[in-house]
A and B are shown apart, each in its own frame.
Chain A
Amino acid sequence: MKILVCISNVPDTTTKIKFANNNTQVDDAGVQWIINPWDELALTRAIELKEDSSNSFDEVCVVNVGLAKSDATLRKALAIGADKAIRIDAEPLDAYFVAGQIADYIKNNPFDIVLSGIESSDYNGSSVGGMLSEFLDCPAISSMTKLEVDNGEIIIHRAIPGGKQVLELQAPFVGIVQKGITNEPRIPAMRGIMMARKKPLEVVSPVDLKALSHIVEFELPQAKASCRMISEERLEALVDLLKSEAKVL
C-alpha cells in the first residue's frame, strides 16, 4: 500500500512574522522554512507504518504545491524517510488551488491513504485535506489521532468534542491528522540526510485551475495595554476586577 503525505512549507513557528510591500506579502527575510508541524507528524506516522514489517505499507511519498523554495523542506522529508517527493511547480494560491493540483496528481498516480495535517501554521485554513477528499470523492477522517493496522484492517481514532471515536475504514481515504498520531516528529539522521541525495524529487507542472480567493492585505495585531499587577494577598481584588471591570465573571 502506498501513502501520500501533503506537505506545506511554512515559516518556523518561532518566527516573528513581518510583512513587506505595503503589508501585501510576508517578508521572507530571515524566515526559516519548515515542514508544517502537523504534516510532519503525519509523515512520521506514515514512515513508522512503513517500517513496521507486519503490515503492507511499502511506499511513502510527499507532495507539495510550491515554487523552488520548497525544495529544502521536501528534501528534509526525504531525509526523515520518505521515498519520493513530488513538487507541483506553482505558487500555492489558495487551499482550493492546492487541493485541486494534488487531486489531479493523485488521479494519475493513485495512493491508498492520503494524509494531511489538520491545519497549516501559516494561513490556518484547515481546508486542503477536506477539499482533497471531495475532489477525489472518497471519505475523509478529520482530527485523526491514531492510525493503526489490526489484522489487516485499518483502525482509526478521531477526536470528537470531549472524547474520541474508533473507526474502521477501507482505503482509499484522506486522513486529516491531529496531534497524538505519533509522539514526536523525527530528527533526520546523518544516514537519512545522505540518502536523501539519491532519492527522487520530481517537479511536475500544474494543471490549469483557478483559485477562488486571494489575500489582499495583512495586518499585525495591536499592542496590548500593560498588565495590572495584583498582590497575592489581595486576590479578592482580582476577583472583583474580573467581575466589575473586565466583566468576564
Chain B
Amino acid sequence: MNFELTEEQEMIRDAARDFAQRELLPGVIERDENAIYPKEQVKRLGELGFLGMLVGTEYDGGGMDTVSYVLAMEEISKVDASVSVIMSVNNSLVCWGVQKYGSEAQKEEFLKPMARGDKIGAFLLSEPEAGSDATSQRTTAVDMGDHYLVNGIKNWITSGGTASTYLLIAHTHPEKKHHGINAFLIDSNLEGISVGPHENKMGMRASDTHSVMFNNVKIPKENRLGEDGQGFKIAMKSLEGGRIGIASQALGLASGAYELALQYAQERKTFGKEIIKHQAIAFKLADMAVEIEAARYFCLKAAWLKDQGKPYGQASAMAKLYAAETAMKVTTEAVQIHGGNGYVKEYHVERLMREAKLTQIYEGTSEIQKIVISRGLLA
C-alpha cells in the first residue's frame, strides 16, 4: 500500500487548481445563468493538455495516468463542472476508445486533433428510448456494401453542437442483439446530420447538450471503429472508464462545496460566535469531510486499477455511485450551512447542488450502477 502521490501527480493537481481558480472562476456564474458555452476556457483546457491527458504522447496526448486524471478532474469540477464534463467526455468516452480500438489511420485523423484539443469529441450512445440500456438502440447503420447508411436520433449528447468528431453507436444487425452493434468515428458535419436545439438544463448549463438526428447519413466503411459487431463492447468499455471521470467530477462538486461551506462557517457568526462553533454545523462538516474522503479513495482506487491494467468495471461503478450520492448530499448540506446566502447564486453552492444532481443521472444512473455492481457480485 502507498497513499502518496508522486511529485508529478501533485504538479498536475496544482496546475488544474491554478487553472480553475484563475481562469474558470471568473464568469462561471454568468456562463451558467445564461448557458454560455465556455469557448475560451475549453480552448485553454486544450492548450494546457487537459483534453487529451490520457492519450499517449505518440498521439499528441499527455501520456498521464488515470490517477492524475482524477486529481485534475476534481480540481476543475470544484469550480466549473460544465467545463469538466467536456474534458471527461473527450478524454474517457471518445479518445480512449479510439486509442484502444482505432486503426492507425483513424488515430492520425481523429485522435491527434482531439488529444491536442483542436477538435472536441462527443459520444453518441443515448437515445430517447435507450439510455444505459444499449441493446435497445433504434439508430440503424445498414451495411450498403461500400458504406453504411445511418438513420435515427441520439439524445442528451454532451458537446453535441460543438464537437467536430462523433463516436457513434448504432445497430447494423438488430437480430444479433448486442453482437450486431457497431461503433463509428465520423466528422460531425456529414450530410444528413442535424443538431437539435440546446437543451435548457437544470445544471451544467454552460455545456452544450443536444439531440443529434441522422437522416440517410452515408458513413464510409473505413470509419467503423473496431471489428464488425464490436460496438457494444466498445461502448460498455468506454463507459467503464467514463464512470471514473464522472465519479471524479462528483467528487470535485462535493469537495468544492465543502471547501466553500468550511470557509463560510468560519466567517459567518450567529449568537455571538462563528457558526462552525455550533455543534450542529460542526458535525455536518465532519460528516461531509468523511464522505468526501471515502469518495476520493473510491475514485483513486478505480483509477489505480485501470493504470495497473487490472479489471476496474466494478470499482468504477462503485466510485461513480458513491461519489454521485456524496455530491448530492454534500452540496445540499453546503447550501444549508450557507443559509439564505446559499440560495443566492453569488455564493456558488446552489450551482454545485444543481450540478451534483446530474452526476446521479448521466453515464449510468445510480440505479444502473447498482445493477452493474450487483451483477458483478454474482459473477
Question: Residues of A with Cβ closer than 8 Å to B?
Answer: 71-72, 75-76, 79, 184, 187-191, 193-194, 196-197
Q: Of A72, A76, A189, which is in contact with the most chain B CB atoms at under 10 Å from its CB?
A: A189
Residues of chain B with a CB closer than 8 A to A79's CB: 11, 15
Across the interface, do A75 and B49 meet the contact criterion of CB distance under 8 Å?
A: no
Query: B44-73: which residues lie under 8 A (CB-CB) from chain A?
Result: 47-50, 52-53, 57, 62-64
Across the interface, do A194 and B62 meet the contact criterion of CB distance under 8 Å?
A: yes
Q: What are 9 of the A-B contact pairs (CB < 8 Å)?
A: A76-B11, A187-B22, A189-B15, A190-B12, A190-B64, A191-B49, A193-B8, A193-B62, A194-B64
Residues of chain A with a CB closer than 8 A to B22's CB: 184, 187
Residues of chain B with a CB closer than 8 A to A188's CB: 11, 15
Task: Count A/B pairs, Cβ under 8 Å.
Answer: 47
Query: B12-33: which residues lie under 8 A (CB-CB) from chain A?
Result: 12, 14-15, 18-19, 22
Residues of chain A with a CB closer than 8 A to B15's CB: 79, 187-190, 193
Q: Among B7, B19, B52, which residue has its beta carbon within 8 angstroms of that of A72?
A: B7
Q: Knowing A189-B49, A190-B48, A190-B49 touch, does A75 contact B62 (C-beta < 8 A)? A: no
In the A-B complex, the 4 residue pairs with the smallest Cβ-Cβ separation, listed nearest first, are A190-B49, A190-B62, A189-B48, A189-B49
Residues of chain A with a CB closer than 8 A to B47's CB: 189
- How many Å lie between the Cα of A93 and that of B10 in the bound state? 28
Across the interface, do B7 and A75 meet the contact criterion of CB distance under 8 Å?
A: yes
- How many Å lie between the Cα of A76 and that of B14 in the bound state? 10
- How many Å lie between the Cα of A1 and that of B7 in the bound state? 31
Residues of chain B with a CB closer than 8 A to A187's CB: 15, 18-19, 22, 48
- How many Å lie between the Cα of A75 and that of B50 in the bound state? 19
Q: Among B7, B14, B18, B50, which residue has its beta carbon within 8 angstroms of that of A190?
A: B50
- How many Å lie between the Cα of A72 and that of B9 in the bound state? 11
Q: Of A76, A79, A191, A197, which is in contact with the most chain B CB atoms at under 10 Å from its CB?
A: A191
Residues of chain B with a CB closer than 8 A to A184's CB: 22
Chain B proximity of A70: nearest CB distance (Å)? 12
Q: Among B11, B18, B52, B57, which residue has its beta carbon within 8 angstroms of that of A75?
A: B11
Residues of chain B with a CB closer than 8 A to A189's CB: 15, 47-49
- How many Å lie between the Cα of A115 and that of B19 in the bound state? 26
Chain B proximity of A158: nearest CB distance (Å)? 27
- How many Å lie between the Cα of A197 and that of B10 in the bound state? 14
Across the interface, do A194 and B63 meet the contact criterion of CB distance under 8 Å?
A: yes
- How many Å lie between the Cα of A71 and that of B6 in the bound state? 12
- How many Å lie between the Cα of A197 and that of B11 in the bound state? 12
- How many Å lie between the Cα of A225 and that of B54 in the bound state? 53
Chain B proximity of A33: nearest CB distance (Å)? 10
Q: Of A75, A76, A184, A187, which is in contact with the most chain B CB atoms at under 10 Å from its CB?
A: A187
